[in-house]
Amino acid sequence: MAVQRGRGRGPVPNGPADAVTEPMSAVGPNGRPVSAPDVRERARAIPEAAVARLAVYLRVLSAMSEQGVGTISSEELSVAAGVNSAKLRKDLSYVGSYGTRGVGYEVSVLIEEIERILGLTSNHYVAVVGIGNLGHALANYGGFPGRGFPVVALFDVDEDLMGIPVGGIPVNHIDEIAQVCASREVSIGVIATPPPAAQAVCERLVSAGVRCILNFAPVVLQVPDDVEVRKVDLAVEMQILSFHVARRADEVASNGADVPRVDGMVIPR
Amino acid sequence: MAVQRGRGRGPVPNGPADAVTEPMSAVGPNGRPVSAPDVRERARAIPEAAVARLAVYLRVLSAMSEQGVGTISSEELSVAAGVNSAKLRKDLSYVGSYGTRGVGYEVSVLIEEIERILGLTSNHYVAVVGIGNLGHALANYGGFPGRGFPVVALFDVDEDLMGIPVGGIPVNHIDEIAQVCASREVSIGVIATPPPAAQAVCERLVSAGVRCILNFAPVVLQVPDDVEVRKVDLAVEMQILSFHVARRADEVASNGADVPRVDGMVIPR
DNA sequence: GCGACTTTGTGCCTGCGTTCACAAATGGAT
DNA sequence: ATCCATTTGTGAACGCAGGCACAAAGTCGC
């Protein structure tokens, strides 16, 4: 993947990555003086990577809850989430101490607390810009997986799309972006436009007051420091997989016992 | 984002983040004995995060090339890619020494070398499983952004879709997955199914010999150690943004001079 | 041909995130 | 009531990636 982490700072692309980030340069040093660890400041201390994992834990926990599981140990949860149990406990410790030693965690409590930390207790309204193939798919998700993220506005430049409802929401012209985003309290913008339009769209979203952006366009967006951009880049994901395919092929070639060699060199066929 | 990095190892989800990467636990220590730095082993030494960035550099370079730029300095390229110039040079050093001191890099050379490292010199055939909204969008990309990743097979369980071409490729029943993947030399599988089907589909892909998987389903896939999974998880991406929205709101609240406090504590309203 | 300037490539330091390992805490058994 | 088994929460060590800063190397002008 390749997730554009970082907060503006002039240019700061990725991070899946990673992480997809792993994403390019992490948040980086912020200029603010390190104040006393206020209760409200705790959130700041949570590493971005831990936040991503908390979201995964939340999903696993929700599934557990639906299956009627009431209590779970860090070991069980870590296996289900695919992480080291120590890491899981440390991640949960960022949220607070809600476990019972010798027993484990109460699923419902954990869900509540993670939702609180992730800010999922209130809705965040979403606007999707660019109603092509991907935009359609996104709009039709209707509220995004897991809910809490209702799509309330769609934008495009194509006059033929205006007013036509996609996933129940009519498409507006992009020129109305400022006004519509303001009146519908959009806090998250999703860019699903062709690459050349992405930067301009991004700037219009920012002008409209949107401070969090999810970018599907294969472009490195340049944004002000106070705007948070995350990037989902299919091409980068594919290329990373390609890298691993190639590496794997190399390994097989160089590890194979019956590969023709001269002085240790593998002879290409 | 939240990109599932890691290589199987029983469970290893995201990395997303960063990636999602952060993503979750990075590649992690591999059990293999550290052999002498074989030429072919160099690829192994490249950090996953650097690989993700190389893919970004490649795109920027391609754009440069199209604009007729012949030579570029690390400073220029780093600005365009949104990274620190030192980091960029270090990333490029993983690829090799192809720069000219005092001058910069020849764009065409850099493109070639990065493509070589990423294994983009040969095609990697892609199969998409799950032809819903997202599957349609993916199939219609037709060869995926940047080419080099031709989609050669589509699968679903819905009988109504069988044989119908989407993006020029007819849909096959998932029961044919092993046979079709083998004959069409699929090396990358894309999972775009509903969550409950994802794990089973994953296992069928693995049985069919596919060792690299891009997973769009919001599920933590359990795979053998030799399978590489990357995850694109919209819900996780949204929730990370939500976290930042909430954090930002907190900052405003706690930085505001007229917030009621007692002994520095913010009084919740 | 020589010197000054530019830019690469990299050794070293720093900081962050992961992992280990254990003390503290809790429940249940005796 | 006490002891044992279990599991959390976290201090500390470790390792890796990022960033700085400079030496090496090469170009251009004179």
What is the secondary structure of B113-129 as a DSSP string? HHHHHTTTTS--EEEEE
Nearest to B94 by CA among B61, B119, B117: B117
Give the list of residues 6+ apart from residue B133 with CB closer than 8 angstroms, or none.
A136, A137, A140, A141
- The confidence score (pLDDT) of residue A44 equals 60
Of the residues A3, A191, A226, the best mutation for testing chain B's interface (the one with the most B CB atoms within 10 Å of its CB) is A3
For the segment A36-50, the average pLDDT, to the nearest whole number, is 65
Which two three-digit tokens encode residue B163?
A: 């044989």
The yes-or-no verdict on residue A194 having pLDDT over 90 is yes
Taking chain B (269 residues) in runs of 10, the rounded mean pLDDT of each run is 44 35 34 40 77 96 94 95 96 95 95 95 95 91 72 96 94 97 96 96 97 95 93 94 87 58 43
CB B131 within 8 A of CB B161: yes
Question: Which 3-state string (H, E, C) describes chain A?
Answer: CCCCCCECCCCCCCCCCECCECCCCCCCCCCCCCCCCCHHHHHHHCCHHHHHHHHHHHHHHHHHHHCCCCEECHHHHHHHHCCCHHHHHHHHHHHCCCEECCCEEEHHHHHHHHHHHCCCCCCCEEEEECCCHHHHHHHHHCCCCCCCCCEEEEEECCHHHECCEECCEEEEEHHHHHHHHHHCCEEEEEECCCHHHHHHHHHHHHHCCCCEEEECCCCCCCCCCCCEEEECCHHHHHHHHHHHHHHHHHHHHHHCCCCCEECCEECCC
Nucleotides of D under 7 A from a protein CB: 5-11, 16-21, 24-28
Tokens 């400022």 identify what position?
A178
pLDDT in tens, A184-193: 999 999 999 9
In B157-196, DSSP assigns E strands to 165-166, 169-173, 186-191
Q: Is residue A174 pLDDT above 70, yes or no?
A: yes
Cα distances (Å, whole numbers) of residue A263 to A94, A267, B37: 54, 10, 16
Q: How far is CA B20 from CA A17, A143, B14, B50, B233, in A?
A: 4, 22, 7, 14, 9
The helix-helix angle for A48-66 and B234-255 (nearest 10°) equals 120
pLDDT of residue A248: 82
* Average pLDDT, rounded, for chain A: 82
Radius of gyration of chain A (CA): 22
Positions of chain C reached by protein Cβ under 7 A: 5-11, 16-21, 24-27
Q: Give the nucleotide with minimal C1' distance to the Cα of A94.
A: D9
- Provide, as residue numbers in chain B, all residues whose Cβ is less than 8 Å from the Cβ of A113: none
* Alpha-carbon torsion angle B7, B10, B11, B14, nearest 10: 0
Note the Cα A206 to chain centre separation in Å.
19
* CB B30 under 7 Å to nucleic chain D: no
Tokens of A123: 């809705």
CA-based Rg of chain B, rounded to a whole angstrom? 22
Please tell me the distance from the alpha carbon of residue A142 to that of residue A158, in angstroms, as a whole number.
22
**Burial (0-12, 13-18, 19+ Cβ within 10 Å), B87:** middle
Does A241 score more than 60 pLDDT? yes
Closest approach of B195 to chain A, Cα-based (Å): 10
Q: Contact, A37 vs A70, CB < 8 A?
A: no
Contact (CB<8Å) B19/A38: no
Separation between Cα atoms, residue A186 and residue B23, nearest integer Å: 27
Asked whether the whole model's pTM tops 0.95, one would answer no
- Residue B44 has what pLDDT? 61
Query: For residue A143, what pLDDT is reported?
Result: 59
Give per-residue pLDDT as tens, B63-102.
Answer: 999 999 999 999 999 999 999 999 999 999 999 999 999 9
A chain contacts of residue B52, beta-carbon cutoff 8 Å = 1-2, 14, 16-18, 20-24, 236, 240
Q: What mean pLDDT comes out for the span A240-267?
A: 67
CA B11 / C1′ D7 distance in Å? 21
Confidence band (pLDDT; 50, 70, 90) for A140? confident
In this prediction, residues A113-139 reach a mean pLDDT of 94
DSSP symbol at B267:
P
Instruction: Give me the pLDDT at residue A93, please.
Output: 96
